[in-house]
Amino acid sequence: MFKKIILATSLFAFSLFALYLFGVYQNNRDVAHPQSAQLELQHEASIKWLLANEEEMFLQVNPMLWWMLYESNKILPDSRISTMLEQYYSKYQQVVNGPWGPLFGAQKRSYLAAYAVEGLPYYNQHFLYSLNCAQGLADDIDVVAQQNEASFCHQMHYIYRPACITHQLMGINFLHKKQCGTLSTIDEVTQSLQSDIELQLTWDIRVVDVYLQRVMMLLITGAESHVKPVWIQQVLDHQLEDGGWGDFASLSGRGSGRSIGFSSRIISLGEEKSSFHATAQGVYILSYLLSESSKS
């Protein structure tokens, strides 16, 4: 009996490993780059999702999500997104007139004090330091300075956070875009983080929120040539019927209701449902790709 249990367990483990390897193959196979016509159709569907979910979106003050729409609209202007942004600026004036203002073109606040970021997640502290070139934050807060090091997310406390590296690269990219000049090794750190993200995309086959974030960060930080066409196709294939994206991919297929599938927690029970967080990233990705295709 014991031998049968061992054999059954071994066969089950081998089957899971074989399925994973097949998933890795599917996630890295050679495919043609998606055509502009497909990108346009799915971009339009994503904007329609935004329009259909405006009421819920405006309940979310999260400036980073609105920054993604802001950047999308800069590279591929759309009057509908412009209107949403104007409404956001009006509703949340304290955001655009505060430390997060540089996300939307406002002046930097280089004098930002440590108490202004107290209680925020570690990555938001780094974002505000980077956006405002507020060197004092790095001098006074250890976790802010540590995020300027390429090995930050390899620490035990952060290694299990799937978005750690993409968040860190966002902060480093803000340092670059705002021309802070406070990090002499910025090119080396950027390239190291891009390599880490490329490795994640190669082996982490879960096409959930963080997958989109990884693709997005490689695209907007100058590493587009490292983005495999299949990763773009994966993003397109996982757009939901309502035009949005979510943080759960069912293993039972579309429309299967609550089921087992991939999520930010690796495997869990859930239901495919679009979210503003994931969809804002999808809009940014498609806007970027369409903008670049129009230049060629």
Tens-binned pLDDT, residue by residue, of the chain (296 aa): 667 677 666 776 767 778 888 889 999 999 999 999 999 999 999 999 999 999 999 999 999 999 999 999 999 999 999 999 999 999 999 999 999 999 999 999 999 999 999 999 999 999 999 999 999 999 999 999 999 999 999 998 888 899 999 999 999 999 999 999 999 999 999 999 999 999 999 999 999 999 999 999 999 999 999 999 999 999 999 999 999 999 988 776 665 567 787 777 777 777 889 999 999 999 999 999 999 987 86
Give per-residue burial for 139-162: e unless 16+ CB within 10 Å, then b.
Answer: eebebbbbbbebebbeeeebeeeb
Q: Which of 158, 159, 109, 106 is CA-nearest to residue 133?
A: 109
Distance CA 218, CA 184 (A): 21
Per-residue confidence (pLDDT) for residue 267, from 0 to 100? 77
Whether 71 is covered by a domain: the verdict is yes
Distance CA 36, CA 55 (A): 30
CA distances from 283 to 40, 145, 171, 245 (A): 11, 31, 20, 10
Whether 59 is covered by a domain: the verdict is yes
Whether 12 is covered by a domain: the verdict is no
Per-residue confidence (pLDDT) for residue 2, from 0 to 100? 67
> For tokens 């016509």, what's the residue?
37
Whether 26 is covered by a domain: the verdict is no
For the whole prediction, is pTM greater than 0.85? yes
Q: Which of 286, 278, 213, 214 is CA-nearest to residue 246?
A: 278
Residue-wise DSSP of 201-216: HHH----SHHHHHHHH
Q: How many domains does the chain have?
A: 1
Whether 161 is covered by a domain: the verdict is yes
In 3-state terms, what secondary structure has residue 200?
helix
Pair of tokens at residue 287: 């806007």
Whether 1 is covered by a domain: the verdict is no
Whether 234 is covered by a domain: the verdict is yes
H helices present in the chain, as ranges: 2-28, 36-52, 54-57, 63-75, 79-91, 93-96, 122-132, 135-140, 142-146, 164-177, 186-203, 209-220, 229-237, 276-295
| Cβ–Cβ under 8 Å, residues 252 and 272 | no
Q: Which of 230, 216, 221 is CA-nearest to residue 279?
A: 216
Distance CA 276, CA 69 (A): 11
Whether 10 is covered by a domain: the verdict is no
User: Residue 209's domain spans which residues?
Assistant: 33-295
